[in-house]
Structure 1
Amino acid sequence: MFNTSAIQYPKFKLAILALLALNAVIYGFTDTLTSFTDALVWLVLLVIYELEANNVELPLGETAMRHLRSSLIVVIGLVFGSYWRDNEWLDIANSALWFGLIAILETEVRWPDYVRRHERLFWLATIATFAGLLAMAGIWLARGAWLDGYDALLWIVAFGFIEVDIFHLLKRKHAV
């Protein structure tokens, strides 16, 4: 198995992960297969990023983990193609913003020295991406798409607090 002792999970992180898993199940029963796949793949990707961020020793090597992340991102790309095919423009815009966030995270994982040299640029890109994602959640809520709005807000909280550590990110503003 793998060593999880490196993770010090506060209860709110576990609650967020449980709510995301519940969301995937809800989408599985109430929405399309595409929405269910989208929710499930993003959840797995979030867990992988969290484990890697906490230096948890996984049974797969670094190369295998990179391939797994890349495969999940390909599935997310296929879901995006489905949204495009069906002219689901809010989902397309939302996916594009999440692709931006994944690009930022992948760059941080794969080329940390580059990110350190361009810290201000990555900080601004991350803030802009989260602002766009908040706008998307607001649009869904304003349209009465409660599950989509709730799901969007929950994912923002999940990535903001679990992966990106939004408090640390906002503190960097003063240091940059």
Structure 2
Amino acid sequence: MTSRVILVSPAMSPSLRQARFYDGDSLDDTGAARARAAAGALPAPARTVVAPGARCAETAAALGLDGPRTPELAGLDVGRWRGRTLDEVGAAEPEAVTRWLTDPDWAAHDGESVRRLCERIGRWLDGVRETDGRTVAVVEPEAVRAAVVHALGLPAAAFWRLDVAPLTATELSGRSGRWNVRLGRPLE
């Protein structure tokens, strides 16, 4: 049995454009238009799942994908930093930002640690490995990072070394207890 997972990052939104911690905003006009233009770029899935955020749901709809919102695929909970830019948080809490970027267990922003996110996404990915056929999941960029960290058995500290561009597909294929990864194909 071969499992295939295609992780699709959301199209551009104001928070992505402004390097602001996600606060539930919708796609911007350019992002929505690019997602609509990419409809049909993915192979037909056996199943589709969508992270609970608005920009993931809107990206899925624009791509012509329909699937349940799946809470365990939510992006990283950044607690009190939600809605703020990285520059704002860095100016107000420089030591906290440094710790957040270097310690995968740190979560003093009253949110979730990177390690917990990687574990949560990893549990979901392990469950998908037991299914046959292709799963398309429209998820936040940090969920893509966490899936790659888990799939390749990387240390959680590698999380920040992975860049995920908007509206790209990262493909995982699993068999014999392991995953292979094809990173960041733009959807066009």
Q: TM tier, shorter chain?
A: 0.3 to 0.5
Q: TM-score, normalised by structure 2?
A: 0.34
* Structure with a larger share of its residues in helix: 1
The TM-score normalised by the length of structure 1 is 0.36
Relative contact order higher in (CA < 8 Å, ≥ 6 apart): 2
